[in-house]
Amino acid sequence: MSRVPRSLVWASFVLAIVGLLDAVYLAYEHGSGSNSLACPETGHLDCAKVTTSTYSELHGIPVAYLGLAFFVLLVLVMSPWAWANQSPLLRWGRVALVAGGLVFAIYLVWAELYRLDAICLYCTGVHLAIFLLFVVTLLAEAARMPAEDA
């Protein structure tokens, strides 16, 4: 089994940290009830409309808090030390985690575009981070696959 290229390991770790920082800010804004999101509140760009909508909670739990917990877990599993672990459970758990995160992000983008008619720039940052993490994780796992003999 091949090793994962260091560039992909570090890219995943940095993306997870960037996503975590964005999620921390969104959770802080939600928890404090602050309205300081540096995002216009006019037209299609309206963070307040998105972050206070019915889609901002899942079964009574704020999506911002779910995102925060998700990215804390991602920072752990995307760390260079976790990538060094060859455990199939960790490897495929990481793939399942980012795939599930991407599916949920797609749902939230759908809600923003088709239900709320508003986009939150900070939420978009989180969605972009999870999409890139999905791509990097798949590339990393593909790089681990043994090359077939020609």
Q: What is the pLDDT of residues 83-110, one digit of tens each?
A: 998 899 999 999 999 999 999 999 999 9
Q: Tell me, yes or no, if the pTM score tops 0.85.
A: yes
How large a percentage of the chain has pLDDT more than 90? 73
Looking at residue 8, its amino acid is L
- The pLDDT of residue 36 is 67
Report the distance separating Cα 91 and Cα 83, nearest Å: 8
pLDDT class of 149 with cuts at 50, 70, 90 = very low
Computed over every residue of the chain, the mean pLDDT equals 90
Q: Which residue has the higher pLDDT, 125 or 31?
A: 125
pLDDT class of 150 with cuts at 50, 70, 90 = very low
- The pLDDT of residue 102 is 98
| Residue 37 pLDDT exceeds 70 | no
- The pLDDT of residue 52 is 87
Tell me the HSE value of 25 on the side-chain side, using a 13 A CA sphere. 17
φ/ψ bin of 28: left (φ > 0), alpha (ψ from -120 to 50), beta (otherwise): alpha
Asked if CATH classification 1.20.1250.20 holds for the domain at 6-34+43-143, the reply, yes or no, is: no
Q: Which token pair is 13? A: 């770790």
